[in-house]
Structure 1
């Protein structure tokens, strides 16, 4: 081997050692950085001239594990949104037996009625009936408002998710282009690949994503169900529009909307293409879960209304007269039951605060006067009507005979059961995500292995440096001759 060749070999070895040391340092420094993939230097022997050639820096990524991680993130995003909704509903409705629950407000009202029935001449007791009845109506109103608030939040969440997906897809398309340019120039594009992975992970929590490798370091993105999100230089664009506030009775098409894809409306059947993440969960809350809760509240409010509007309970009422509870001042009907829980109110004729008279509670809402003051028949009939086991209203979510208390308790029980089931489901999903994340971390940077590689580079550096020292000594010997 000539001296020149020895120097060339040693210099190429030192260059590779320096680059390898930089790679190890980067790996150790970013061991906990999200989206960072371990780097490895690729070298090969130079066929002409000897020495080693640096072929590039590669990212070491377990593609199948990364794909599973993204699917798990989508699943957790879906479960988190639904569990949060059910927790908020349980907080508003309350648990059976709790003082602030709907059934607690009903119990207070029934107790006040029973007390007034024993002393119909006592205006303090009659005032307590008005107070507890108003509180019960307010609780139903508040619950309905919370349900529609959840629908509105879901509507806004959809808009936010769509904006995030669109911005992220545009960023991935840009990074694809930059990575392709760097790849063609033979430059290191791994930092941009790390960023791209983080951006795709952001999309994955909203829509389940499948990543497919393309030429020149590019990637194509598809939803898990097959919708094309990015395959080429121009990303797909999701569209969504609608008012921020949603009210009871609004459904898809009247006037709520679904997504559009590249300007084309997505049908209800095609929405499965975007199922599995937080976007789908927000649609489910807006269009299914919250309307179901609203329907149950409306059924309770209608049952309460119908029990007390019966002429057998209050003979002073005519066929068109409102009972103790009204639908915004009017008599509720089966045709107007949607949203009733948000409109139900105490009849103003018995509320002194609204110009009414307390004596109408004992004499009848449409009675001419309050005499005699000791009559308790109507108050007792009101108590019995609430306690009676009656058939469920046609079209309601209740079945068979039941008391009003039983039906309130049934709804509270359903809400609690849904919350427990949603949280149990979220726990399973989160556990799976945690397990996959741990496996992904294990596949990433191993600090012990990196230190071993650093020692190998140190030995390589020493060996190549020794060659240069030996060459230097040889040259000096020759020059001294």
Structure 2
């Protein structure tokens, strides 16, 4: 064997050992980062090396990141949809829990049934003051639960408002970080260094942004990327990201709404984003929080207020209690005043028992039997008013003006309709959430299988071990040959 042949063989073996060492490091990185967010599988790219016009082993061309861009886009879209559906379901489940389902303990249905039962008990023994006291207490409990449901709905709207502010901050911070990483990746790449770790970090940041607002990632020159919402609104295209602002409210009530300008809207690059353009930011947690604050919450509040207005009107009817005049205070009051359709918004939060029959407020229990406007107590055995009150509760009635209900129904039936709507929305949200979870899981599984596969990496590691042994044997053989040549 000539000296040139020995040199070529030695070069082949030496470059092979170098490639094996680098390849082993790539496999180790892949296995160590298999659960690291944003990490993409690395592959070593080799090219034949020329030595004097002839083969001279291999050289490492680059270490490439292996990412299926289409699958990554699918995973992001599915992840944002999962987060949006989860937010919506969480709110509707909370509302269903506090309103209750038919037959549940602690719900509105139980409170209304108890109130009706106490009316029947009192009408059977109108002279029994304990039964009148139980009736008053059941009325207070009913109004208290209505107040609680309204409070929980408005608290959920307030929480959603605060979550919008947090989403906006996270979104701005994420976009600023992506812009910074764009600059760093461009700089590192121009120096001939490997920017892969920075690209991994950028991918993880974009994944976080995507949960808030699903994004399209578009490649630009020098390793940079631009980000747009799915509907095409620019978030980052260049060196400066869009600036998004939002001012949360300290506490929301039913009277506060985006329609009357009393709560905040998104401000994008100094311009208020109208409701008609909110679809540009749809699909993630940001749009879910806006939906809870501006649509789902007010919708449920309006249904509660409609129910409470009907409860009020049934017991403020002079044909039921002849001792009260039209527009006078009935059994239930709105902050010390009669409830009206014009001031219905937020009524469920304000409804209370009329103080004239509330013992804790100095009221007199006999008025439940003899009339709210009676000058003095009547015969203790007269149950006609109590029977009239129970009939007012149970007979069918057309809903008052401004109500979201349309059919003629008893108050119990009206509450059943409200419960049914809440349950239907929760069921729909639960089905949607389960579907979105299933889709996201399936796509994530495909994405992970396309990423770091531990079995494949271990197989590659075994191949590198075999290549290392083969190259080492070549070098050993050349060493032995050189020893023989030198001895001659």
TM score, norm. by length of structure 2: 0.95
Give the alignment partner of residue 364 of structure 1, picking from 368, 371, 394. Answer: 371
> Do 1:155 and 1:244's aligned partners in 2 also have CA atoms closer than 8 Å?
no
> Do 1:240 and 1:257's aligned partners in 2 also have CA atoms closer than 8 Å?
yes
> Do 2:148 and 2:349's aligned partners in 1 also have CA atoms closer than 8 Å?
yes
Give the alignment partner of residue 177 of structure 1, picking from 183, 192, 195. Answer: 183
- Aligned residues between the structures: 481
Give the alignment partner of residue 301 of structure 1, picking from 299, 308, 314. Answer: 308
More displaced stretch, 178-187 vs 269-278: 178-187
1:193 is aligned to 199
**Cα deviation code 1:286-334 (max 9, x no counterpart):** 0000000000000010000001101111111123421000001111111
| Deviation (angstroms), 1:3 | 4.5
5+ long unaligned stretches in structure 1: none
1:168 is aligned to 174
SS of the aligned residue for 1:335 comes to coil
> Do 2:8 and 2:51's aligned partners in 1 also have CA atoms closer than 8 Å?
no
Give the alignment partner of residue 21 of structure 1, picking from 24, 28, 31. Answer: 24
| Residues in 2 aligned to 1:269 and 1:336: alpha-carbon distance in whole angstroms | 28
More displaced stretch, 450-459 vs 327-336: 450-459
The Cα RMSD (Å) is 1.5
SS of the aligned residue for 2:212 comes to coil
> Do 2:249 and 2:264's aligned partners in 1 also have CA atoms closer than 8 Å?
no
**Cα deviation code 1:23-75 (max 9, x no counterpart):** 11111222333322111011112345533221211111111011000000110
1:286 corresponds to 2:289: no
Give the alignment partner of residue 126 of structure 2, picking from 114, 120, 123. Answer: 120
SS of the aligned residue for 1:402 comes to coil
| Residues in 2 aligned to 1:424 and 1:231: alpha-carbon distance in whole angstroms | 37
1:477 is aligned to 484
Give the alignment partner of residue 98 of structure 1, picking from 104, 107, 113. Answer: 104
1:225 is aligned to 231
| Deviation (angstroms), 1:9 | 3.5
| Deviation (angstroms), 1:208 | 0.9
2:470 is aligned to 463
> Do 1:141 and 1:344's aligned partners in 2 also have CA atoms closer than 8 Å?
yes
| Deviation (angstroms), 1:454 | 1.8
**Cα deviation code 1:357-402 (max 9, x no counterpart):** 1111111112111122222222111111111111122221111211
2:35 is aligned to 32
More displaced stretch, 54-63 vs 237-246: 237-246
More displaced stretch, 467-476 vs 94-103: 467-476
1:346 is aligned to 353
